[in-house]
């Protein structure tokens, strides 16, 4: 009873916060249309037929007339009917992978569990024609030509980002790009695909020792046991998305610019960027071989100058 009341109070507080944020943006931010967003994406080099994995900050775009659905429409306009969109629709009821793994009796159910990733992924998840992967912590949703193939086997993958996960299949797509709308180089889940692919050869031990089996239901209600290995919390404290790692975010920003891989531009009111997925992955692998990862220390960054060849 008490827990239900707490959830209700948290939901009411979140609804109030979102409404207040929306009012502030509506009155203070530049107004942006779907057509203007699509034009900004085109200037960023996004083209018909491409496959995009999108990380975004909706409020950074300005006040979008039509809200999150207009942003989704602009992304669909940019890639066209032969293109594909992927968004993270993670559901982490414990707040972290580790805490979610520790929850007793947790069963992920895509028919009733939404996402904790914000308004744009929420709206995308509710849109027509969207497919969602089955995963207890890192479910991914997709729309378009490759949507079914990218999401169909996630619950069979040996790890969150491993073989047959949406990330590994995305890397293999032609004309695939990672798109950052109004975000830095910090909150980019794509980085972890290299960690799972390299396994013990990755230069930093990022995982805890034990792999957990978490229960999931698929869209037909069938039950699956899905392997999940939590991140080592001590290592995560020095990761690129940690608030104190501005130095690492700036390094990756400048490094991918110097390598000529990152295209920068304005989409709405947001500074945005795009990087071809295969080249992104290969450059991350090269950096790892030179002891620079998304966990690198200041000393490791200093030892490897930006643009080193």
Overall residue count recorded for the chain in this entry: 309
Whether residue 15 is predicted with pLDDT greater than 80 in this model: the reply is no
Cα radius of gyration (the chain): 19
What pLDDT sits at residue 308? 78
Widest pairwise Cα distance in the chain: 61
Whether residue 17 is predicted with pLDDT greater than 70 in this model: the reply is no
Helices (H), 152-264: 166-171, 191-198, 233-236, 246-258
pLDDT band at 31; cut points 50, 70, 90 = confident
In sequence order, which residues have a C-beta less than 8 Å from that of residue 79 and are 6 or more positions away? 46, 47, 48, 49, 50, 51, 52, 85, 144
What pLDDT sits at residue 127? 93
- Interhelix angle 191-198/277-289, rounded to 10 degrees, is 60
- pTM, entire model: 0.88
Least confident of 16-20, 75-79, 90-94, 155-159: 16-20
| Mean pLDDT for the chain overall | 92
Q: What are the backbone angles phi and psi of residue 217, rounded to the nearest 5°?
A: -105, 140
Whether residue 160 is predicted with pLDDT greater than 60 in this model: the reply is yes
pLDDT band at 30; cut points 50, 70, 90 = confident
C-alpha distance from residue 168 to each of 49, 155, 176, 255, 292 (Å): 19, 13, 12, 23, 21
In sequence order, which residues have a C-beta less than 8 Å from that of residue 292 and are 6 or more positions away? 251, 300, 301, 304
What pLDDT sits at residue 57? 92
Q: Are 273 and 263 in contact (CB under 8 A)?
A: yes
CA dihedral 214, 217, 218, 223 (to 10 degrees): 80
Whether residue 22 is predicted with pLDDT greater than 70 in this model: the reply is no
């Amino acid at each position: 009873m008490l827990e239900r009341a707490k959830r209700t109070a948290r939901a009411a507080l979140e609804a109030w916060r979102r409404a207040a944020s929306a009012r502030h943006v509506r009155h203070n931010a530049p107004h942006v249309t779907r057509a203007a967003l699509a034009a900004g994406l085109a200037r960023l080099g996004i083209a018909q037929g491409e496959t995009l994995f999108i990380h975004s900050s909706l409020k950074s775009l300005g006040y979008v007339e039509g809200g999150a659905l207009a942003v989704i429409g602009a992304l669909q306009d940019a890639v066209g009917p032969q293109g594909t969109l992927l968004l993270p629709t993670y559901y982490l009821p414990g707040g972290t992978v580790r805490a979610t793994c520790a929850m007793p009796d947790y069963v992920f159910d895509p028919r009733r569990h939404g996402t904790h990733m914000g308004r744009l992924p929420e709206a995308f998840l509710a849109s027509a024609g969207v497919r969602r992967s089955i995963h207890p912590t890192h479910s991914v949703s997709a729309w378009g030509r490759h949507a079914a193939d990218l999401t169909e086997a996630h619950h069979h993958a040996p790890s969150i980002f491993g073989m047959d996960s949406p990330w590994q299949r995305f890397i293999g797509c032609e004309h695939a790009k990672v798109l950052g709308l109004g975000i830095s180089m910090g909150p980019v889940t794509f980085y972890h695909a290299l960690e799972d692919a390299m396994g013990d050869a990755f230069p930093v031990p990022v995982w805890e020792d034990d792999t957990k089996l978490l229960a999931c239901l698929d869209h037909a209600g069938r039950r699956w046991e899905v392997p999940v290995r939590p991140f080592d919390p001590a290592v995560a404290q020095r990761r690129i998305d940690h608030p104190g790692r501005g130095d690492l975010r700036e390094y990756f920003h400048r490094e991918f610019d110097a390598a000529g891989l990152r295209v920068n531009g304005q989409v709405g009111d947001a500074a945005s960027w795009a990087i071809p997925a295969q080249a992104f992955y290969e450059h991350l692998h090269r950096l790892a071989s030179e002891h620079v990862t998304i966990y690198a220390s200041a000393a490791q960054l200093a030892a490897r100058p930006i643009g080193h060849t």
